[in-house]
Amino acid sequence: MDLVSGYKGVVGLVFGNENSGSSEDSYVERLLDRISNGKLAEDRRNALIELQSVVAENRAAQLAFGAMGFPVLMGVLKEERDDVEMVANPSLFLYCMIRGALETLVSALTPIGHVKAQKNEAQPELMNADLLSREADGISLLLSLLAEDDFYIRYYTLQILTALLTNSPNRLQEAILTIPRGITRLMDMLMDREVIRNEALLLLTYLTREAEEIQKIVVFEGAFEKLFSIIKEEGGSDGGVVVQDCLELLNNLLRSNTSNQILLRETLGFDSLLSILKLRGISYSFTQQKTINLLSVLETINLLIMGGSEADPGKEANRLTNKTTLVQKKVLDYLLMLGVESQWAPVAVRCSALKCIGDLIRGHPKNLDALASKTLGEGLQEPAINSILRIILRTSSTQEFVAADYENTEGQAMLASTLIPQPYPVAHAPIEEDVNMSFGSMLLRGFTLSESDGDLETCCRAASVLSHVLKDNIPCKERVLKIELEAPMQSLGSSEPLMHRMVKYLALASSMKNRDGKSNVARNAYVQPIILKLLVIWLVDCPSAVNCFLDSRAHLTYLLELLANESEPVSTRGLAAVILGECVIYNKSIESGKDAFSLVDTVSQKVGLTSYFLKFEEMQKSYHFATASSTQPRRTLSRSTAASMADIEDADESYLADEKNEAHPILSSVFDDIFVTLAKRLEADIREAIIDVYSNPKSKVAVVPAELEQKSSESDAEYIKRLKAFVEKQCSEIQDLLSRNSVLAEDLAKSGGGSQSQSEPRASGALDRAQVEKLRRDLHEASQRLEMLKSEKAKTESEALMYQNLAAKMESDLKSLSDAYNSLEQANFQLEKEVKALRNGGGGGGSSAIPDIEAIKAEAKEEAQKESEAELSDLLVCLGQEQSRVEKLSARLLELGEDVDQLLEGIGDDAGLAEDDDDEDEEEE
């Protein structure tokens, strides 16, 4: 009763006050009274029809119904259903009452579309759903109605349950779990007529989201068999939205649920699932619905590859088993058809298929071998991985390049031995002839393709693939160092190592960014990061690669300029700093100008170690380094998101306006979690190496100055004594420098900045300026925060004062009400006292003062009767006169040919009404 009364209060708020909403409220109340207390069956049914109509069209009536109507209609459902079960041949009236009650409940739970609710206005459908879900035995009664033979009863019941589940999911899920055979009745609806089946699909889809217990029960009730049966009946991937609903329900049952995945694999297997991926017909047509269905199936495969939830200890074993079984069932053939061979397929389908291939071979050598053995094409066949490489190098879709490159993270290491450059004429052969090349030759050809046109797109993509090939493969890094590429034109010079060519491309991309033209901006936004990533991976644990990089002094100069250029993105400067650090930690050279000490000295003088280490901190705070994670969930495919995911368009145009846009999809693929982890590890090693170089400077044999040579007049003993003093002085100075460098290095490691010895005044000055600037920024930030805290404090004090005044006003009002109440109590007590005194009379003499009320009433009644008799006689006289006039007029009208009856029609009714009114007045008197 408290809950209902609370909602009645809400009704009053919506209507404005008690009187403004009285019309709707009283109208709904009268209809509910006719339904529950009516004597005539026809009147009850008409009232139910009127109630359904007004609730479906009026928000105020909808809200008023929620405050008082649910117990009435639930009672109708229970009573009429009992009558139906008791009667051998139930009448149509009983079914109509149940249908009407259910349809009214549907209207009460459905928002009125043509009425726009105000911002702070109550939403009746949500309140009604909450009220109905709290009804005792209400959910159980609704589920029992699913067993009725009447189609409309089952249909409306499913709609009510779906509305409740949409607005109050947790309470409905808990209620269904406590009802015996509750889910079984819902599962039986999947075998019902088409409309009922579709409603049951939607209901089960909502019900199984994030409800593991319900998922297990639904699977135990044979959900897999029923779903695949419906999908086959509807036409598989060529079917309509029903297939989509079935696949969404299937994905709900498999998502993060290892036991259900095992049950599907060991009972039905994956054949029914994979048959949906088969493309039928010679010319494939992909409607939007078919695209959504294929994306849903690919999501199912991805869920099987994931294996289950992270907390499940059996996840890894289940994942490996699912991968093995899927490949044994020829899933690679279907995925290669969708992702590579079928160029009619939409971009979204091709990308999803390629990502599934990458997940299947990741960490699974046997599946990797199976992919390597696949060939594509009907006539002249080529390896499947070569076809995927061609997609990477040639596709015009950003998403497709990212998806294909994602697949190659594990698929290219086995092809490192094929990195053999082709002769010069073959490298410039028509693009169609690359079908005869090996994987490595095709990849190396991509580094020179379109170079003369200044288009670095293909070169950049080839660099991304090469970074996967070189990752953790020292022999392959050594092999690629020996590869030399011919210049695109003989006039540009002779051949050069591939690494030097990549640095040239890096500088070329940087110079092209200063040109006008948005097309260059879009591409060069990711060309530099991809080439820098290749160099970072190439230099790891490879001193030969470091030596090759430092062979040209211009490479070091360019990296220092790139590092100091504030117009470059944060990620670009950070990767340049990582490459410089790798040249220190993996440097085995003793040649002057190329050794580790010379490099650190150069960085200290040109950039400053404080500024250098600041680049690492800025890169760590950048968008991609902060968001890179291997546990990011993929977007779930549902009815609300399916259309947008199926209509993926290429994203290049949306990034033309801002070359520093950090949300570019290719940049997201460059800075994956594996590479981010590598960069963080390298940063720690670089800091430690630079501290070590500062603590132990390079020892170098100096030429003995001329003043240290023995003088002609100096004895051997004096010369030895002088040399000993000089050596002791030098040793003392060296020890001082070493101790000072060690202290500075420790401070550098603790503060995250850099410092130089006092022997380097230029670097030391840069360090002091950087520290002062940092302290100044910190002071400015602290001042801003202090101002913000002051403003928040003032705002809080203002709010506290307002609430204090409000509390004082309420206390004053409460006191006034209390005083008024006390006054009323005193007045009431005084009146009761006077009445009591009048009744008692205070003695014999006082009783005569009390008037005889009965006598007064009788006298007044007698006088009223006399007056009414006089008025009645006067009225009769008037009526007699009027009757004679009417008779004369009627006779005259007949003479004139008029229809007297037609003229007098209705006059008697008005007279009757008037007489009734007079009678009612007399009764009231």
Per-residue pLDDT at 116 exceeds 70: no
Looking at this protein, which amino acid is placed at residue 4?
V
Residue 693 is predicted with a pLDDT of 80
Residue by residue, DSSP assigns 793-846 as HHHHHHHHHHHHHHHHHHHHHHHHHHHHHHHHHHHHHHHHHHHHHHHHTTSHHH
pLDDT at residue number 93 = 60
Rounded to an integer, the average pLDDT of 619-636 is 67
**319 alpha carbon, distance to own chain's centre:** 25
Is it the case that residue 887 has pLDDT exceeding 90?
Answer: no
Per-residue H/E/C for 514-534: CCCCHHHHHHHHHHHHHHHHH
Q: Has this prediction a pTM greater than 0.85? A: no
Interatomic CA distance for residues 67 and 547, integer angstroms: 82
Please report which helix (H) or strand (E) contains residue 911, including its range: helix 907-924
pLDDT value of residue 224: 94
**Cβ contact 308:319 at 8 Å:** yes
Of residues 291 and 640, more confidence is placed in 291
| Res. 803: pLDDT tops 50 | yes
Q: Which residue has the tokens 């002062």?
A: 772
Confidence of residue 737 (pLDDT cuts 50, 70, 90): low
Using CA atoms, how far residue 889 sits from 149, 906, 907, in Å, is 69, 18, 15
Is the separation of the CB atoms in 573 and 563 below 8 Å?
A: yes
pLDDT at 244: 93
pLDDT at 721: 75
Q: Do the Cβ atoms of 671 and 630 come closer than 8 Å?
A: no
Which structure tokens are listed for 67?
Answer: 């405050």
The residue ranking higher by pLDDT, 142 or 747, is 142
pLDDT by residue (tens digit) across 723-732? 777 777 777 7
CA distance 578 to 595: 17
What pLDDT does residue 523 have?
53
pLDDT at 777 over 90: no
Q: For 40-88, how does the pLDDT look when each residue is reduced to its tens digit (9 = 90+)?
A: 888 888 888 899 899 888 888 888 888 888 888 888 888 877 655 544 4
Which has the higher per-residue pLDDT, 913 or 797? 797
Which is more confident, 532 or 653? 532
* Per-residue pLDDT at 740: 60
Least confident range from 125-129, 455-459, 671-675: namely: 455-459
Question: What percent of the chain is modeled with pLDDT above 70?
Answer: 73
Q: How many helices and strands in the chain, by DSSP H and E? A: 45, 4
Model pLDDT, residue 266? 93
Q: How far is CA 204 from each of CA 22, 162, 256, rounded to the nearest angstrom? A: 40, 9, 18
Q: What is the pLDDT of residue 241?
A: 92
| Cα dihedral across residues 75, 81, 82, 83: positive or negative | positive
- Tell me if residue 146 falls in helix, strand or coil: coil
What's the one-letter identity of residue 513? K
List, in order of start, the domains of the chain with CATH numbers.
22-112+123-221 (1.25.10.10), 232-373 (1.25.10.10), 474-648+665-695 (1.25.10.10)
Kindly report, residue by residue over 205-218, the tens digit of the pLDDT.
Answer: 989 988 888 999 99
Q: What is the pLDDT of residue 872?
A: 78
Nearest Cα neighbor of 508 from 462, 467, 461, 558 is: 558
Alpha helices in 345-397 (DSSP H): 347-361, 365-372, 384-394
